[in-house]
Every structure is written in C-alpha cells, then in structure tokens.
Amino acid sequence: MLYPKTSMSDALQYLTEQLDSWRKAGTFQRLRELESPCEPIAKFDGREVINLASNNYLGLANHPKLVEAAIEATRRYGAGSGAVRSISGTMSLHLELERRIAAFKNVEACVVFQSGFAANAGTVSALLGAEDHIISDELNHASIIDGCRLSRAKIHVFRHRDVAHAEEKLEALDGVAGRKLLITDGVFSMDGDIGPLDKLTELAERHGAIMMVDDAHSSGVLGRNGRGTVDHFHLHGRVDVQVGTLSKAVGVLGGYVCGSRDLIDFLYHRARPFLFSTSHPPAVPAACLAAFDIMEQEPERIEQLWTNTRLFQEGLRANGFSTGRSETPITPIMVGEAATAHAFSRALFEEGLFATGIGFPTVAEGKARVRTIVTATHSREILERAIEILTRVAKRMNIV
Ligand SMILES: *Cc1c(COP(=O)(O)O)cnc(C)c1O
C-alpha cells in the first residue's frame, strides 16, 4: 500500500516561517544542479557556464588518472569498505594513502578521515577536554568551531590574524591549569588571506601551547608541490597538528591529520569520526594516491594556478573591483549587503558565469561578497571572458 504524502504537524511550522523570511530578504538559496563533471566550463541547471564556484584548484576532480584509479580500485576491492576503520574497515589502500601523505608532508604519521570537517571536529574534540583552553582566530572554519564546542574546553577567540591579540589571550592563561591549543586556518576560506602561522607558532612555543593549522585551502595550493602552509613558512617539525583536505585541490574527498606517531595512534583510539563512521570506499584512497602522483610529478599545475590567479585578480582590480584581503586563488568580490551579493550572483549566472553569493551568517553583516575561485585549468580566454562578464553585470548593478 502507498502512503499518501501528508504535510507534517504544526510542530515544524517555525521552519516555514524562517524560510519565508529568507525568501522576503532575498537570501533564500536554491541549490544549483551540476549536470556535468566539475570543470572550468560546466553545466548547471541546464546551462553551460564559466565555473568560478568550485574548490577544484588543480583540475584533478575529473582527471583521467584519478578516474581510472577509482574504477580499478572499485573493480578489485568493491564499492564499499564494510565497516568503520577501528573494526574491520581499514583496507590496504587506506594505510597506503596515510603513509603516502605522511611522507609527502615530512611527518611521522597521518590519519585520514571521511572529510576535512570530520578531521577538524574529531581531532580538536579528542585532544582537549573541559578543563582545557583553545585560542582560536575569529574567522576559523565552522568545523574547528564545532570541534571546540564538542571538546567543552574554554574558547578564547582572537581578532582575525591579530598575533598581538592572540598573545594577550595566551599571557592571560600563563600559569592557569589546563592544556592550551592555538589554532588557525592556513588559508581563510571566505577571504583568501593567509594565517600568520610563523608568528603564531613562535607564540605557541613560548607559551607551551599545542599548535594546530587547518590547511584545507592550502593543500595543493601553497608550499612545494602543495605541501601546505608549514612548508610555505618553513616550519617543519614545529607545528604539532596539521590538518588538510583531500576534497579541494586533491580533487576527491576526505581530510587528514599529520603529526607524530603518538598523535596519530591516539586519534586512532579516540577520534569519534574514526571510531563511529564508516571508512572511505576503496575508490577514494585510490584516486587520492593518483592525485599525489600528479602533484609530485606536475608542479607546473600549481604554477599555472598562481599565474591564473594573478591574471584574474589584476583584471578585476583594473576594472574597479574590491577583492578584499585575498592573497590566494580564493578571490572575494566585496559588495556589502547579502541581498546584493545574491542578486549579483543570480545576474552573473544569467550571463553565463557561476560564482557564489555569500552573506551573513557565513560572513559578517555588511561584508557580503561573491566568492570566486579560479583553477589551474581555466584558460586565459575563459578568464578574460569572466572578467568581461563580471564587469558588465557589476556596472549595470552599480557595484563598480
Ligand atoms: C572546506 C573546509 C573544510 C572541510 O573540508 P571538507 O573536506 O570539505 O569537509 C575544513 N576547513 C576549511 C578551512 C575548509 O575550507
């Protein structure tokens, strides 16, 4: 028998009211449907558009070598792993990928999680407890914030990239009981600026704090062959906990933590996403291994990413756009109000360009933006066309 689809009880009515208020404010977001692989020109909602909305920095998400590796691993080992890592879901490919990443990052050991989100939330909450302290940049990623909350440690937020403010927070904790964790994003995901990891690491060393960095947007982007901010700042051996993702530049899915053998063994025993959520299907570590091959063999991809970034940002600035604090391929186009950002994004889409509108609460009120990310595989011709579309639409909307 088929059950009729009924509307729910009134208990969820508040959701409808909230959604209606977003619709009125112009901030309700319909999901765009990707109908092709993730590429510089991709098909969303039935239209071929220039794609400036992905994190596929090196163009690996649809690279034939990754696709082949995923297919081959699926044929040999199946579609799923069958269990969480700590029971029977640790496959040879998972361990091979962990060894590969540890060698790449020049650390003793590595653990791979299902996502960068799980890596951050699972690690912070495993390392700290209610009697401990976390000193955290105000713009750190949501997964760090959730990890901090889950740990029940006391959270001390310092102003964005403000090393003196972080020091004040640490000084106030000198002699106070409990462990201390100093944590920053390597590259900040909404602004594209780089965290002052060198100075923060010195602070952590002086005040006996654990130093942790989230390199989600720096993996594959900064440092030699994309080794991340520790390599970029020459801090090898000095940052206790390095998180990275396999979901962005690496082109697949996952997050990892790098550090000492003991750190990783501890996380094997205590990180809740590792213990209580099933491991990646074999296709994932296999494709990631192929991605690391490419990152090591084709450094010109990263060079092209930075060449494209310079070309695109110079073009935007020459046309009067404000690109905020960006120092990396993440390029925000600042517009102010959230409704303007969403309207700008929609108008750009109509003209053949996809870039995401981002407003409160993802960024502060009044700091709304359209966020763009170029990749190594955008051609010069595509980037020039993108700048032309952005400028034309922004002029029409009085944004520049
Ligand atoms: C995207 C992102 C994450 C989460 O990574 P996923 O692998 O997508 O879960 C964590 N931290 C930062 C700074 C990010 O931008």
Q: pLDDT by residue (tens digit) across 56-111? A: 999 999 999 999 999 999 999 999 999 999 999 999 999 999 999 999 999 999 99
Mutate to test the pocket of ligand 1, among 55, 117, 183 (most ligand atoms within 8 A of CB): 117
Exposed, middle or buried, 5 (CB in 10 Å: 0-12/13-18/19+)?
A: exposed
The answer on pLDDT for 300 being more than 80 is yes
Least confident of 38-52, 200-214, 360-374: 360-374
Tell me the C-alpha distance between 389 and 373, whole Å. 15
Angle, CA 352 vertex, CA 347 and CA 356 arms, to 5°: 60
- With bands split at pLDDT 50, 70 and 90, how would you rate the model's confidence at 174? very high
CA distance 21 to 197: 40
Instruction: Give the pLDDT confidence score for residue 8 in this predicted structure.
Output: 65
Q: Is the pLDDT of residue 26 over 90?
A: no
Of all residues in the chain, what percent carry a pLDDT higher than 70? 98
Active site residues: 189, 217, 248
Q: What is the mean pLDDT of residues 229-250?
A: 98
pLDDT of residue 240 exceeding 80, the answer is yes
Q: Which residues of 330-360 are buried (b: 16+ CB within 10 A; e: fewer)?
A: bbbbbbebbebbbbbbebbbeeebbbbbbbe
Which pLDDT value is given to residue 256? 98
pLDDT at position 28: 86
Average pLDDT over residues 17-41: 93
Q: Which atom of ligand 1 is nearest to the CA of 186?
A: 13
Give yes or no for residue 19 having a pLDDT over 90: yes
Provide, rounded to the nearest whole percent, the portion of the chain with pLDDT above 90. 95
Confidence of residue 303 (pLDDT cuts 50, 70, 90): very high
Identify the pLDDT of residue 27. 78
Domains of the chain, CATH where assigned? 26-55+299-396 (3.90.1150.10), 64-297 (3.40.640.10)
- 118-139 confidence digits (pLDDT tens): 999 999 999 999 999 999 999 9
What was the pLDDT predicted at 6? Answer: 64
Q: What is the pLDDT of residue 360?
A: 87
Residue from 56, 141, 184, 188 whose mutation best tests the ligand 1 pocket (most atoms within 8 A of CB): 141
Three-state DSSP class for 81? Answer: coil
Pocket of ligand 1 contains residue 120 by CB under 6 Å: yes
Cα Dmax for the chain: 69
d(CA 337, CA 208): 42
Q: Is the CB of 217 under 6 A from ligand 1?
A: yes
Is residue 375 in contact with ligand 1, taking CB distance under 6 Å?
no
Q: Is 117 in the pocket of ligand 1 (CB under 6 A)?
A: yes
**Mean confidence (pLDDT) of the chain:** 96
pLDDT surpasses 90 at 9: no
User: Across residues 380-390, what is the average pLDDT?
Assistant: 98
CA of 12 to the centre of ligand 1 (A): 30
CB atoms < 10 A from the CB of 207, how many? 17
pLDDT in tens, 343-352: 999 999 999 9
Please compute the mean of the pLDDT values over residues 323-340 and round it to a whole number.
95
Choose one of 229, 247, 253, 373 to mutate for the ligand 1 pocket test, by most ligand atoms within 8 angstroms of C-beta. Answer: 247
Mean pLDDT of 188-213: 98
Atom 14, ligand 1: which residue's CA is nearest? 216
Give yes or no for residue 3 having a pLDDT over 80. Answer: no
Taking the centre of ligand 1 as the mean of its atom positions, its distance from the CA of residue 245, in whole angstroms, is 7
**Binding site membership of 189 for ligand 1 (Cβ less than 6 Å):** yes
